[in-house]
Structures are given as C-alpha cells and as structure tokens.
Chains A and B, each alone.
Chain A
Amino acid sequence: MTFRKFAFNNVVRNKRLYAAYFFSSLFTVMVFFTFAIFSFHPSLSGDAMNSSVNQGMLVSAGIIYVFSFFFVLYSMSFFLQSRKKEFGVLMIQGMSMKQIRKMVFLENMLIGLFATLGGIFLGFIFSKGILLLAEYVLIIENSLYFYFPSQAMVLTFVSFVILFFFISLFVSYVLRSKKLIELIKGDKRSKGEPRANLFIAIVTVILLAVGYGVALMVEGLTVLAVMTPVIIVVIIGTYFLFTQVSVYVINKLRKQESIFWFKTNMILFSDLSFRMKDNARTFFLVAIVSTVAFSAIGTLFGFQAFVTSSAKINNPTTFKYAASIAHEYDEKEVELINKTLHDNNIKANEEQTILRYHPIANDRILIANESEFNRFAKLIGEESIDVPDGQMYVVEYEGVSFGQTDELLKETVELSSGVTLKPNDVIYSQALPATDSYYVVSDHDYDILPNTTDEEYFHAWQATDGEERVLEVAKTLNESMAWNKFSSREFQVYDVKRSYGPIMFVGLFIGIVFFVSAGSFLYFRLYMDVDDDKHKFKSIAKMGLSEKEMRKVITRQTAILFFAPIVVALAHGAVALTALSHMFYYNLFTESVSVLSVFFTIQIMYFFIVRFYYTKQIKTVVQ
C-alpha cells in the first residue's frame, strides 16, 4: 500500500462520508454547467437576443461561480471537521501535517475531478430538458434546439478544476494550528453552549419587531429607502435569535422539570443545547440563504404578475383598433382584422364608435355619450351607467390612471344651447381606451356639444370562441399594422412575459441554487452528528428505548433542524414580499403564498427523505 493507494482507498471505502461533499460539489458543477449551456446557446448569443441580456447572463454566471466557491469551501470545511478524529489517529501513527495536506489535496482533487466530470455529464443529459424549460419560461420564438455545448463544457471544466485547486490549497488554513490532543478528542468534545443573556435576548426580540414593523408599515418609494437598514437589523436579529433567544428558551425549558423530564424530551433537549453552538451558526446561515431565495423568487413572480396585470388592465378587450380619423384611419385595416378573425374561426363581440375630443383647459379632452360608453362597458362586462340630461361625469381609467381627474372636476363644458355642464361625480371604468380621464354626458347633450378638435375611430373586439388561436392571429396582424393602432391583450401579456423571461430565468436559477445549498448545509449539519447519535441511541436502546420512541426523538430532532431556520426564513420572506407589494401598491398575496408554500412543500419532502435515511442509519447499530 503506497501513500497514493492509501489516499485512494480512504475515499473509495468511505463513500457515505464523502458522498455528501461529493454530491454537493456535483450539484454545484451541474448548475453552473446548465447555466453555461444556456448562455452559450447559438440562438441566444446571436441577434435573437440583445447583448444586454448576454451581459446579464455572464454576470449571473459570475455570481453562481462565486457562490459555488464559498459553498464548496463551506462543504469542505464541514467535511474536514467531521474527520478530526481520523486525522488525529493518522498523526499519532506519524503522519506529518504535510502528508495530511497532501492526502486531503489528493482527495479533493479526486472528488473535484469526478464531481466536475459527473456534473458536466448529468448537466448534458438534462440539457435538453433545461433548454425546453428555458424556451417555455423565456418565450423564445426560434426554438432552443439541442446543440453540443463544447464551449460550456470547456468553461465549466476549466473553472471548476481551478476552483477545486484553490479550495484544496485552502485546506492548510482550515487545519492550521490544530493540536493533536484536540484532534484526537475532536469527536467527543462539545463546543459547548453559547451563553444566553437575557438582555441580548430582549434586544433581539426588539430588533426583529422593529425591523418587521418598519418593513410592514412603509409604503411606496420609502420602502427602497428603509430597505438596507431593515435588512441589516433583521440579519443581526436573526443571528441573535439563534445564538441567544433559542439558547435562552431551551435553558428555561431545561429548568422546567415537568417538561424536560417528560419521557423522551430529556434526550431531545439535552442534545439540542449540547449542539446549539454548531447548530446556531447553521441555522443562521440557512435562514439567511433561504430568505434570499424566497425573496428573490417571490419578487420575480410578484413583479411578473404586476407587469402582466398592467398589460391586462390596459387591454380590457381581446383586440382593439384606434386611429385618428384625419391621419391614420384606414378602413381596410378594420376589414383585415375582421377577415382574419373569420378565417381563423374566432368569434367575437365587437363595438365601434368615433371618439370626439374637445379643447378644454388648454388640453384635448374626450367627451363620450352615455350610450356609446354603455356599449363598450357591456362588452367588457362592466355595469352600464345612467347620465341624465344636464349632468356630466368624470371617468377615470380603473387600474392605471394618468388622469387629471381633479383638474377635470374643476372645469365646465358649455353646450350650444347655452347650458353649462358641471361634473358632479367620478366613475371608475375601463370601457373606453383613454388612460387620461374624460367626461361622459347624456346622448341628448352630446348632440349639442360645441365643435370637436379631432375625432378618433375606436373599434374593440371581445373574443367569445376560439381564444386559443388569438395569440397567433395577433402576431400576424401586428406585422401588418402599426403598434399604436392595433393592440391585443394576449400579445401584450405575451410580450411582457417574453421581455421579462431572461430575468425570470436567471432569478429562478439563482434562487434554486441558494435553496438547494441551504438544504445541503442542513444535511451536513445532521451527518456531522450521526456517529454521536449512533452511540447515543445504542446506549439508550439498551436501557429500553423502543423503536417507536427512537423514531419520535429522531423525527423531532430532524424536524427542529429542518424547520426552525426555514420557518424563520418564511417569515422573513413573507415580510419582504409584503413590503414589496406596498412599494408597488399591488397586492402580491397570491404570488407570495404560492411561492412560499412551494418552498415549504419541497422542504417537507426533503425532510421526510432525510429522516428516512437517517433513521435507517441509526437503526443499523440499534438492534
């Protein structure tokens, strides 16, 4: 057995220990590679997408790379910590620090090489799926065909070989100045409980309360202003929540003998406080990383919902055609629309009218009559209104208004009969396509209005059948008509989603990377203690702990580890998304709840999987 063979055997025969580190490395490589496949795709790097998107992709790849570096580094230091005892034994047998470094370096390069190759291989297998997904999310017209991603492969391989090389060098730092006695007793020594201080605990609660309070109360652009201080306060609060408040609570519980000495609680809580110092840091890290993931993805979905809904608000009907009579109106275009609808077997209700603008207060203001307003209101399912003669209403566009409603309320309109109309109320409606506010008068008064400055032809269609073909029709019609005349709701929504797609994709990617890494941290934390737990349950089982009770303890222990930080992250995420919705004055409740519950569901599934394997591990020694 030569030294190299020894290092090799040490890895190959200790798969479980290395597995966690290997798979998190593999996953990291895979994520980076799929991202690279995507950003190097010929149809994206060409003219199909503008260079700013490409730039964005590169920056995102950079972020993923930097994050990967720290993630792999963290995984490795965890992995090395769990092997203290082994290093101690080796050093007693006469292994020098130099040889340990050499061994860990070789191991790391071995793991790194296989993780890189494996990650590229898996990424390659999944690449078609990823490209299809990207096509769907990004809404790219010319499809992302499968290609051989040689550029992405080279980039990933080189980047990660370099990354693993530097991380391997870092080993000497992690293992520095470790005394042999500490190494050999490494497994058994507790890092101890952090001391809990009531004062800090109270300050923590206040910090979090203030952070949350401010985040929930402010509105509009103030949200941006308070964002950074709130984030800092909440991060500090979270840190002390896990290092102080949790310890304080556990210590209080320990003193409550009726709780602490109740059945299996003693095993559970004693372990919790024993591992609290290690756990607290993991909890903090996981909570923050998950919060970033939740907030990023929540924000993206929320923002998408926000812009899509604006597109829908601006287009209450399936199609609309508006053109000034004097300059733009072309009868043939309306015929073309009707013909195309007919050819594509799309049935639609339609209304048309001529909108008249009047010079009022140095502006051109639309005045509509009651019956035309009601026709269009009916088309989009709004209630009709009743305007008596001699009366006038101001209509403000419902949803997005650039209206001078207040100004219009002050103005009057003089009819040719000499009667002066004064607006007496405001109506909110989307019936007519004016984002500026306008007046509506009775049909009788309308006929005796003074002369108009200009007239606009307006035609709206609301599809009742064949909606699935609407988008295609809109695309063809768009080609033959100016964008300011013809517009389609489906196409507007589609267009928003398309222009928003790349950001969405990048954000989703990064969010998922963060979330999965958080899961990985938890896994490492759990498996650091697996040998301790084996010993513990082995001894307790001898005293008469049934398998059912053992499962219960493991379940609770794992549940606390998995859900304590996630619940905190969910709360943070919910507050962050609420603040965001206050900033846009747009209700993000549905989006927030769905994003957060998807994450929570994934976490629950992850919990059950890990618990299953952990219990199985423990059961191997408890018979």
Chain B
Amino acid sequence: MLAISIIITDQILWEDLKGDLVMLNVKQVSKIYEGKMAYRALTDINLMIEDGEFVGIMGPSGSGKTTLLNIIATIDEPTTGEILINGSNPHSLKKEELAKFRRRELGFVFQEFNLLHTLTVEENIVLPLTLDGKRVKEMKEKAYAIAEKIGIKEIMNKRTFEISGGQAQRAAVARAMIHTPKLLLADEPTGNLDSKSSKDVMEMLESINKIEQTTMMLVTHDPQAASYCNRVVFIRDGKFYSEIHRGDNRQAFFQRIIDTLSLMGGHAHDFSQIRV
C-alpha cells in the first residue's frame, strides 16, 4: 500500500518536472447520452487551459457546460476524445488510482456546496486529507492556515446547517483547496448565493488563483462571476462558439461577456436556475 503510493507520487513529481505548461487539454471530446432518445450533449470540443489560468465556461442552459465539467472532473466519461490533466489521462486510470487522483490533483466546488452535514466545517475541510490518511497535526495546520486566508476561522466548529450559504461555499472552497490541487473545478459556485456572497466567493477564488497559482475552471451562468476569469469560453449546442480574454478592466470584460451572450441568442440575464 505504502509502496504503491510512493510510486504514484514519484510519477506525478516526474510529470511536474517535465514542466508542461498545459494543465488541462481537452481533445476532440464528444458526449452522446444513450437512451430512448440518443442525445448529443457535446460535439468535438477542444480546450486547452494553461497552468495558473482562470477560465470560465459559459453558454445557455442545455449547451453542455456542466457535461463538459463533469467529464473533466472524471464524474462522467466522454464518448469519444480524451482529456489530459497535467499530462495524464484520468479516464484511463483504474478505480483506486482514479480515487487517489481526485483526492490529490483535483478540487471541486459545487452550486449546492455538497458539504456533508454530519461533519463540522473543519472536518469537511480536511476530508480530502483524511481520505489520504494524513497525520492529524498536519491536517489541523493546513485547515487553520486556509481558514485564516478565507476568513472562516470562527465557524470551524460549526455544523453545516448552522452557517450561511456564503460561509458554506467558502468552506467548500477551503475543502477544494486544502490539498493544493493542480486544477480546481467550480460548477455554478455562485448559483445559490446572494450578490454580496457571490462577490466575496469570486474575489476569494481570484486571489487564490493569483497567489497560489492554482489553475481554475469555472462553469457559470452569471456574467458577474465570469468577469473574474482571465478568459471566458462560450459553448452553444455542445459546440465551441467563441472565447474572449480579459484585459485590465474587469468592468469592460463584464460588458463584453454580456454582449457575447446576447449575440449568442441567450439572454444576457439568463440567471442560473435554482434547482429545488
């Protein structure tokens, strides 16, 4: 058990040493849902995200954004094409290795937080490390370091139902960040938050991206949230539509995102649906 984990760690280190600048490489990915009515969710998607980049994915409802994110997140599998994260293809890993890959290389933030309500905020945050069998002392240190940064130190011993949505999402970000993942994936992280909390969470993600140099990919409906990214990729009907880069001015970028959305035919204020 120990030997295996050392070998895997070495392999990852070796991958690191190659100094590949591309963190995520999506090659010709298509996804077809089989069923009574076969449904083509994604068609020949190509996407490259560089190390340290913060990319937003936007598109109208049903455009395939979440499917793409799920495939990258290894939650779902592509029908054709392949995904390389930091040079390796997670879909080719065996189940056990895939679990290790997720817990070491990836971080997730969801619209509905997905915190475990049986655990305290602190316990939720250290969960990826717990699963990896880290020492308690190390986990505590890391948890408090990140809580300090994110500003949730006061609620560490609270249970998930005692905290607000904004706090829950920050706790979820802390959980996604504690193991310093290579790639952080966020699915509508502001979808369930009010505008103030949305702003806090997005600013926090932006600062983590800048300071920790963590590569991030964000799927969102919300142009405000998307405007924090370096680059926004638009997809429509499962196909690449266009992409725009942020200059120095976030406000101008926000306006361009809205323009692109109206051009695409989606509504500029196509707010994220709240799933009840």
Residues of A within 8 A of B (CB): 1-3, 6, 9-10, 13-14, 86, 89-99, 179-181, 184, 188, 535, 538-539
Contact = CB atoms under 8 A, between A and B. Distances in A.
Contacts, number: 86
Interface stretch (B8-16, B80-88, B99-107): B99-107
B75 A6 contact: no
Interface in B109-133: 114, 116-119, 122-123, 126-128, 130-133
Given A3-B133, A6-B130, A94 B100 contact: yes
A94 B96 CA distance: 9
7 A-B pairs with the lowest CB-CB distances in the bound complex, closest first: A94-B103, A96-B99, A94-B102, A13-B118, A14-B118, A89-B114, A181-B76
**Which of A2, A92, A539 lies at the interface centre, i.e. has the most chain B CB atoms within 10 A of its CB?**
A92
Contacts of A95: 99, 103, 131
Interface residues of B, number: 36
A181 B116 contact: no
Given A2-B136, A6-B119, A99-B131, 14 more contacts: A1-B139, A2-B133, A3-B131, A10-B118, A13-B118, A14-B118, A86-B116, A91-B102, A92-B73, A92-B75, A93-B127, A93-B175, A94-B132, A95-B99
Contacts of B117: 14
A92 B106 CA distance: 9
A98 B96 contact: yes
Given A13-B119, A180-B75, A181-B76, A92 B136 contact: no
Contacts of B101: 94
B63 interface: no
27 contacts: A1-B123, A1-B136, A1-B139, A3-B130, A13-B118, A13-B159, A86-B116, A90-B116, A91-B99, A91-B102, A92-B102, A93-B108, A93-B127, A94-B99, A94-B100, A94-B102, A94-B131, A95-B99, A96-B95, A97-B96, A97-B99, A99-B131, A180-B76, A181-B70, A184-B75, A538-B276, A539-B276
A96 B8 CA distance: 15
B108 A96 contact: no
B94 to A, nearest CB: 10
A93 B106 CA distance: 8
Nearest to B114: A89
A599 to B, nearest CB: 38
A535 B102 CA distance: 30
B74 interface: yes
Nearest to A100: B99
B119 A180 contact: no
B128 A94 contact: yes
Contacts of B132: 94
A9 B118 contact: yes
**Which of B101, B131, B275, B276 lies at the interface centre, i.e. has the most chain A CB atoms within 10 A of its CB?**
B131
Interface string B15-43: 00000000000000000000000000000
B117 to A, nearest CB: 8
B123 to A, nearest CB: 5
Contact of B126 (A1, A10, A180): A1
Given A9-B119, A93-B108, A93-B131, A535 B75 contact: no
A3 B96 CA distance: 17
A464 to B, nearest CB: 72
B85 to A, nearest CB: 14
**Which of A10, A13, A98 lies at the interface centre, i.e. has the most chain B CB atoms within 10 A of its CB?**
A13
Nearest to B129: A1
A92 B108 contact: yes
A128 B74 CA distance: 59
Contacts of B136: 1-2
Nearest to B103: A94
A34 B133 CA distance: 43
Contacts of B104: 94
A179 B75 CA distance: 8
B16 to A, nearest CB: 19
Contacts of B175: 93
A1 B131 CA distance: 10
A188 B275 CA distance: 10
Given A2-B136, A97-B96, A180-B74, A92 B114 contact: yes
B73 to A, nearest CB: 7
Contacts of A91: 99, 102
B186 to A, nearest CB: 13
B139 A93 contact: no
Contacts of A98: 96, 99
A91 B101 CA distance: 11
A392 B126 CA distance: 102
A13 B118 CA distance: 5
Interface string B233-276: 00000000000000000000000000000000000000000011
Contacts of A14: 117-118
B86 to A, nearest CB: 15
B108 A9 contact: no
A98 B96 CA distance: 7
Contacts of B122: 1
Nearest to A86: B116
Contacts of B99: 91, 94-99
A541 to B, nearest CB: 12
Contacts of A86: 116
Contact of B123 (A6, A92, A94, A539): A6
Nearest to A103: B131
B55 to A, nearest CB: 20
A97 B95 contact: yes
A9 B133 contact: no
B8 to A, nearest CB: 12
Contact of A9 (B76, B123, B276): B123
A93 B128 contact: yes
A340 to B, nearest CB: 73
Contact of B127 (A6, A188, A535): A6
A10 B127 CA distance: 12
Nearest to A542: B276
Interface in B172-212: 175
A181 B128 CA distance: 19
A99 to B, nearest CB: 6
A10 B119 CA distance: 7
A535 B275 CA distance: 10
**Which of B70, B103, B106 lies at the interface centre, i.e. has the most chain A CB atoms within 10 A of its CB?**
B103
A559 B269 CA distance: 45
A187 B99 CA distance: 22
Contacts of A97: 95-96, 99
A1 B130 contact: yes
B129 to A, nearest CB: 9
A485 B212 CA distance: 104
B108 to A, nearest CB: 5
A583 to B, nearest CB: 51
A188 B127 CA distance: 25
A535 B276 contact: yes
Contacts of A180: 74-76
A190 to B, nearest CB: 14
